[in-house]
Amino acid sequence: MRTQVAIIGGGPSGLLLSQLLHRKGIDSIVLERKTKDYVLGRIRAGILETGFVDLMREAGVANRMDAECIIHDGTVISYGDTLFGVDFKDLTGSHVVVYGQTEVTRDLYEAREAAGGKIVFETEAVTIHDADSDAPHVTYMVDGTEHRIDCDFVAGCDGFHGVSRQTIPLTVRREYEKLYPFGWLGILSQTPPVHHELIYSGSDRGFALCSMRNENLSRYYIQCSLSDTPEDWTDAAFWTELKRRIPEEYADRLVTGPSIEKSIAPLRSFVTEPMRWGRLFLCGDAAHIVPPTGAKGLNTAASDIHYLYNGLLQYYAEGDSEGIDRYSEKALTRIWKAERFSWATTNLLHRFPDQNAFDLKIQQADVDFLRENREAQSVFAQNYVGLPY
Ligand code: APR
Ligand code: PHB
């Protein structure tokens, strides 16, 4: 088989790239290790920057999102007895959109299928060959048979555990990582959200987040120990702990119900450099991970896709390789700022096992400064709604 762009990974990064390229007449094949149902069963974050929304529009997949999304003009931050709002609209003129990553992925699959896009599921042993030459190819197995795709470029959109990043030799690759000594326990429940905005809450028992998907579907998280498992937490124990970690006025009106999903994710910051090796380009979780505080995971994937898509267009339409040559540099410049914001917001609101009384006073001072200072809030809001591409 031959295609212009072989895309490894059928998560949001790979599907969005494939759909955008298709609209410009550039052919791609997506290879996905799991089944479609498996990919759509993963519950991930649900806050989209306007840059992401614009890309969905450009990809022609925004109809359901535009009809069902909820616009958020601000967020609530709480820390101990300190409680305040950050007004994105007032501070930046912009907003974010609540629309689940699962729905984004579903819309992209529907669009790819409607257009007859090539997606191969349950691929095994995907291997990228000759990425540093002018003629790369990809081999993979399905049902015990080997297949080969010859291509111009390979997009590594295969997440943190994929093969693309590992294809770049260790002599070229540099990895930066920070692990946090806790995880997030998240639940989804068919209950109305406790508040119309998100609540990010630091408390002496640890961090909590009140989020949502729609008016009858809520997503809540609590900071938990890395040794915890979802089975350790009954729904009742989760709700009791959440109520203890959020301001009383919200705890009093929290509507609880059975969880329809419960999972734990460890927190990690990770970046690999460079994001390009020859004709292989890394995108999304394959290249970088952020802790979820600030909801930058999917949004950083989107900015990578924006840079790569535009670079490929420039290459195919104008024969100019400037965009793809500068891909890694452009993507990383923005990624590191999102890494900084996610790290800083995690530090601001979580309890760390080794924090002493001094550290806690500094944390409170940081929160107080953010509450009192319009410029500080403006910096927070600019990062939250998304820095320009
Ligand atoms: N071959 C083929 N597919 C693979 C391979 C492989 N060797 N390894 C992984 N995959 C697939 C995974 O099964 C997954 O469906 O690649 C896909 C990667 O998808 P994601 O992990 O969702 O990563 P990405 O598309 O970059 O999405 C960005 O933003 O909110 C964050 O982490 C969140 O998923 C989210 C991400
Ligand atoms: C979510 O709704 O899942 C969510 C929202 C905001 C975050 C992280 C996760 O910062």
**Any idea what the CATH number is for the domain that residue 138 is in?**
3.50.50.60
On whether both 150 and 242 belong to a single domain, the answer is no
- Same domain for 330 and 202, yes or no, is no
pLDDT for 43? 81
Q: Tell me, yes or no, whether 110 and 241 share the same domain.
A: no
DSSP class per residue in 85-108 = EEEHHHHHS--EEE--HHHHHHHH
Specify whether the CB–CB gap between 125 and 238 falls below 8 A: no
Nearest one of 347, 385, 357, 311 to 79, comparing CA atoms = 347
Domain limits for position 242: 180-267+351-385
Please tell me the residue having the least CA distance from ligand 1 atom 10.
158
Q: What is the pLDDT at residue 126?
A: 98
Where residue 366 falls among pLDDT bands split at 50, 70, 90? very high
* Same domain membership, residue 323 and residue 214: no
Q: Is 46 in the same domain as 184? A: no
Q: Is the CB of 9 under 6 A from ligand 2?
A: no
- CA of 323 from ligand 1 middle (Å) equals 24
Q: Quick check: 203 and 245 in contact, CB under 8 A? A: yes
pTM summary value? 0.97
CATH of the domain at 369: 3.30.9.10
21-32 pLDDT per residue, tens:
999 999 999 999
Which ligand minimizes its atom distance to the CA of 297?
1
Mean pLDDT of the chain: 97
Q: Is 200 a catalytic residue?
A: yes
* 22, 72, 288, 330: the active-site residue: 72
Establish if 250 belongs to a structural domain: yes
72 is catalytic: yes
Note whether 51 and 146 are same-domain residues.
Answer: yes
Structural domain contains residue 12:
yes
Counting the structural domains of the chain, the total is 2
For residue 213, is pLDDT > 90?
yes
Ligand with minimal distance to 13 CA: 1
153 neighbors 137 (Cβ within 8 angstroms): no
- Residue 197 and residue 108 share a domain: no
Ligand lying closest to the C-alpha of residue 99: 2
Task: Judge if 329 and 377 occupy the same domain.
Answer: no
Specify whether 163 is located in the same domain as 205.
Answer: no
| Model confidence pLDDT, tens digit, residues 289-335 | 999 999 999 999 999 999 999 999 999 999 999 999 999 999 999 99
Active site residue 292: yes
Question: Has residue 212 been placed in a domain?
Answer: yes
Residue 305 covered by a domain:
yes
**pLDDT(44) > 90:** no
The CA 356 to ligand 1 mean position distance, Å, reads 38
**10 in contact with ligand 1, CB cutoff 6 A:** yes
pLDDT digits (tens, 9 = 90+) for 96-154: 999 999 999 999 999 999 999 999 999 999 999 999 999 999 999 999 999 999 999 99
Q: Is the CB of 46 under 6 A from ligand 2?
A: yes
Residue 59 pLDDT class (50, 70, 90 cuts): very high
Are residues 210 and 288 both part of a single domain?
A: no
